[in-house]
Every structure is written in structure tokens, then in C-alpha cells.
């Protein structure tokens, strides 16, 4: 099962492909760039984890996987780590030179 946060403005098809390719079974997880959150995970079924969101969700996922003895791999994929949680995050994103559909949208609507 694949979970991706919906607030990943830099995400590209290649990031998802890399995430899937580097998954080696069990749990693969990508930490958010701040607040110790979780932005992406892959979990092999039939294993189950209670999804956690927000501050410290990354550590909660790791602890739950350890308790269930689920093999875990932490992946660092920059475009999956960067998310927009606050107005300041949005302002920083607007400074990006990366041409994305989301950036085009917020510029068109003066957000």
C-alpha cells in the first residue's frame, strides 16, 4: 500500500518511481522536512499500521513498525520531504524556481 501526503508541491513522477523502486519490503518511509512528520510510506500487506499524522508521526510509525517486527527502511527523497503546512511554507515555496503545476496555479490566483 502506498500513502503520499497531498501537500507535496515539488513531487514529480520520478520521485514516486524512485520511492517504489527503493522499497525492499516491509515498511519504507519518508520523513517530512520539519516537525518529525511522515510524508510518504509504503507498507506491504497484510501488515497493518495505524496511520499517524502531524507532529512526531514519523517516530510513531517507526515505533509501531518495530513493535510488530516490520522490516523498515527510511528513505531520503527531497521532493517527498518538502511539504506545505503553514502560510510561511507557502511563501517559501513561491520563491522556488521549479516550474510546477501548483506554482503556476498559485501565481495565477495571486495566492
* Residues 38-87 pLDDT 10s: 999 999 999 888 888 888 999 999 999 999 999 999 999 999 999 988 89
Cα-to-chain-centroid distance, residue 92: 18
Predicted structure pTM score: 0.84
**14's torsion region: left (phi>0), alpha (psi -120 to 50) or beta?**
alpha
Q: Tell me the average pLDDT across 22-27.
A: 96
Question: Distance between CA 45 and CA 42 in Å, rounded?
Answer: 10
Architecture (CATH level 2) of domain 2-83: Alpha-Beta Complex (3.90)
Amino acid at each position: 500500500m502506498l500513502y503520499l501526503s497531498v501537500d507535496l508541491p515539488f513531487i514529480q513522477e520520478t520521485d514516486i518511481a524512485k520511492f517504489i523502486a527503493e522499497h525492499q519490503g516491509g515498511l519504507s518511509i519518508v520523513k517530512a522536512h520539519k516537525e518529525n512528520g511522515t510524508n510518504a510510506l509504503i507498507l506491504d500487506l497484510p501488515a497493518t499500521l495505524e496511520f499517524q499524522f502531524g507532529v512526531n508521526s514519523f517516530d510513531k510509525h517507526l515505533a509501531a513498525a518495530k513493535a510488530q517486527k516490520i522490516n523498515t527502511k527510511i528513505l531520503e527523497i527531497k521532493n517527498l520531504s518538502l511539504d506545505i503546512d503553514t502560510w510561511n511554507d507557502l511563501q517559501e515555496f513561491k520563491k522556488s524556481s521549479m516550474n510546477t503545476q501548483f506554482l503556476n496555479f498559485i501565481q495565477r490566483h495571486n495566492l
